[in-house]
Chain A
Amino acid sequence: MPIEVGLIEPHIPGLRRFACALLRGDRERADDLVQDCLERALSRWHLRRGAGDPRGWLYTILYNRFLTEQHRQKRRGAHDELTEATKSELLVVKGGQDEALEHRDLLRAFAALPEEQRSVLALIGVEDLSYDEAARVLGVPIGTIMSRLSRGRERLRQLMSSDVKAPARTSRSAK
């Protein structure tokens, strides 16, 4: 088995999570994106810089493929159907009833964030990348990462507390 196979495989769950975050839980399209990313990574393995863990490189490829796809769809006049994505989230949430509801609420709020905030929250909050690594994956300065992260977290918190969670709101206004 070629060496790249063993180095790429452990990152598939992470790539699927990141793709799901970018595509608001549309699993079919998320797996298309991951497949596209893996094919590209294999065909360009020789162009990779450095011999270490390809994790950041793989996330970068995935994100670039995501942008290319978004751009193409925009040109063709297609657009993201948030409602569709939300519907598919409802279908895929598993687990106990309370937990499932909590997940569903949060995923719905998360899906309402702009892409630039979702990608940063996913890379830092879910994938555990450092600010520096996230800046390289997304191709923006580290300051931009930090401001998108602050805005994204706060927006998500507000969306969640304006939902049905009155206690969160009271604690916010408490002195």
Chain B
Amino acid sequence: MSPVAGPVEEHELNAHFDRQLPPDRAAAVAAYLAARPEAQARLRQYGQQQQTLRAAITAQSAGPIPGRLRVPRLAAVQRRRRSWRLAAAAVAVMLFVLGGVGGWAARDADIGLASFPHGGAASAAARTTTAAAIEAYRVYSVEARHPVEVAAAQEAHLVQWLSKRLGRPLIVPDLGAVGFRLMGGRLLPGADGPAAQLMYENAKGARLTCYYQAVGFDGETAFRYREAKGVGAFYWSDDGFGYAITARVGRALLLKIAEIMYRQIDDAGNKSRPPPPPGKAS
């Protein structure tokens, strides 16, 4: 490779030190260093410093691996949880069926009971968030002229704005597979700080909303279904957000949509990161 001329920069000295310098700059950096013993001395100090840092952090973090970090054990716990959740989902489906056949009071009742790790806080958040989502749906889904505050045409702005207000990155689900497209969204006063509502519409003009509320715990809860005044909602929480998907469609379709949304958020959760703290350079 032919050498590239130009002044040697600080990051190139570091790249030379790390053996990650592009070959076309090797000659320039070598010449620079040959003429500057103080720069050579500095790189030597970096080397000692790095060696000491490595040893110090290794000593600091070493020690026997505690039981809670043993991967086979963690994997076994997760397998148990998964099968338990499947069982809970089966029970919920059975209760839906029973409710349909017997006219039994599924209305206004929490059915999915599988909220294992958080108990009280999770149940309370589920109740208040679902009720707020249903109420918000009833108020805004009938709006002909102002169903949303920010339209889907400005989706990037909408997401940025709502994520900022809710303090967490908000994932907008793509519900095209079930015929719903995004109309836009709005900020709402929630039961516990700001909440967000995204509104979707299908070709027949039916509307559906995704409601987001930050909650004070991190773990996942299973789906819960609630129905009030003809509006159905599936609620779950994961990773600090409570989600409620709300519409006047049958339970089966709503469950399918909730699963699509859950999967998309779950998938994105692994890649997304919270907004960087204010004032962070570069």
Contact of B270 with A61 in the complex, beta carbons under 8 Å: yes
Q: How far is the CA of A134 from the CA of B40 in the complex (A)?
A: 25
With A67-B274, A126-B57 given, is the CB distance from A175 to B71 under 8 Å? Answer: no
Contact of A116 with B72 in the complex, beta carbons under 8 Å: no
Q: Say how far A96's CB is from chain B's closest CB, in angstroms.
A: 11
Smallest Cβ-Cβ distance to A130: which chain B residue: B20
Contact of A17 with B75 in the complex, beta carbons under 8 Å: no
Task: Give which listed residue, A5, A107, A131, contacts B18 with CB less than 8 A.
Answer: A131
Annotate B37-70 by CB proximity to A: 1 below 8 A, 0 otherwise. 1100110011001101111111111110110110
With A34-B69, A172-B38 given, is the CB distance from A17 to B273 under 8 Å? Answer: no
In the assembled complex, A4 has its CB within 8 A of some CB on chain B:
yes
Contact of B71 with A42 in the complex, beta carbons under 8 Å: yes
With A25-B60, A68-B273, A103-B55 given, is the CB distance from A75 to B167 under 8 Å? Answer: yes
Contact of B78 with A70 in the complex, beta carbons under 8 Å: no
Can you list 23 residue pairs at the A/B interface with Cβ under 8 Å?
A4-B71, A4-B75, A5-B71, A5-B75, A13-B61, A16-B65, A20-B57, A30-B61, A38-B71, A40-B270, A42-B71, A67-B274, A68-B273, A72-B240, A75-B167, A89-B60, A103-B52, A103-B59, A107-B60, A122-B57, A126-B58, A148-B282, A153-B46
Smallest Cβ-Cβ distance to A146: which chain B residue: B11
Contacts of B204 in A (CB 8 A): none
Task: Give which listed residue, A1, A89, A172, contacts B72 with CB less than 8 A.
Answer: A1
Q: Say how far A7's CB is from chain B's closest CB, in angstroms.
A: 9
Q: Say how far A102's CB is from chain B's closest CB, in angstroms.
A: 6
Annotate A91-135 by CB proximity to B: 1 below 8 A, 0 otherwise. 011110001001110110010000010000110111000110000
Contacts of A43 in B (CB 8 A): 78
Q: Say how far B222's CB is from chain A's closest CB, in angstroms.
A: 14
In the assembled complex, A157 has its CB within 8 A of some CB on chain B:
yes
Smallest Cβ-Cβ distance to A125: which chain B residue: B50
Contact of B277 with A70 in the complex, beta carbons under 8 Å: yes
Contacts of B31 in A (CB 8 A): none
Contact of B11 with A147 in the complex, beta carbons under 8 Å: yes
In the assembled complex, A84 has its CB within 8 A of some CB on chain B:
no
In the assembled complex, B10 has its CB within 8 A of some CB on chain A:
yes
Q: How far is the CA of A55 from the CA of B63 in the complex (A)?
A: 21
Q: How far is the CA of A19 from the CA of B69 in the complex (A)?
A: 13
* Docked complex: A56-91 residues within 8 A CB-CB of B: 61, 64, 67-68, 70-72, 74-75, 89
In the assembled complex, B160 has its CB within 8 A of some CB on chain A:
no
Q: How far is the CA of A61 from the CA of B239 in the complex (A)?
A: 14
- The CB with the most chain A CB atoms within 10 A, among B54, B75, B272, is that of B75
Contacts of B50 in A (CB 8 A): 125-126
Contacts of A153 in B (CB 8 A): 14, 46, 49
Task: Give which listed residue, B10, B18, B277, contacts A71 with CB less than 8 A.
Answer: B277
Q: How far is the CA of A147 from the CA of B61 in the complex (A)?
A: 27
* 11 additional contacts (CB under 8 A) given A102-B56, A126-B54, A149-B11: A19-B61, A27-B63, A38-B69, A71-B168, A89-B60, A110-B56, A126-B53, A131-B15, A150-B13, A171-B38, A172-B42
Task: Give which listed residue, A2, A25, A74, A125, contacts B277 with CB less than 8 A.
Answer: A74
Q: How far is the CA of A139 from the CA of B267 in the complex (A)?
A: 17
Contacts of A125 in B (CB 8 A): 50, 53-54
In the assembled complex, B177 has its CB within 8 A of some CB on chain A:
no
In the assembled complex, A163 has its CB within 8 A of some CB on chain B:
no
In the assembled complex, B203 has its CB within 8 A of some CB on chain A:
no
Contact of A175 with B38 in the complex, beta carbons under 8 Å: yes
Q: Say how far A157's CB is from chain B's closest CB, in angstroms.
A: 5
Contact of B78 with A107 in the complex, beta carbons under 8 Å: no
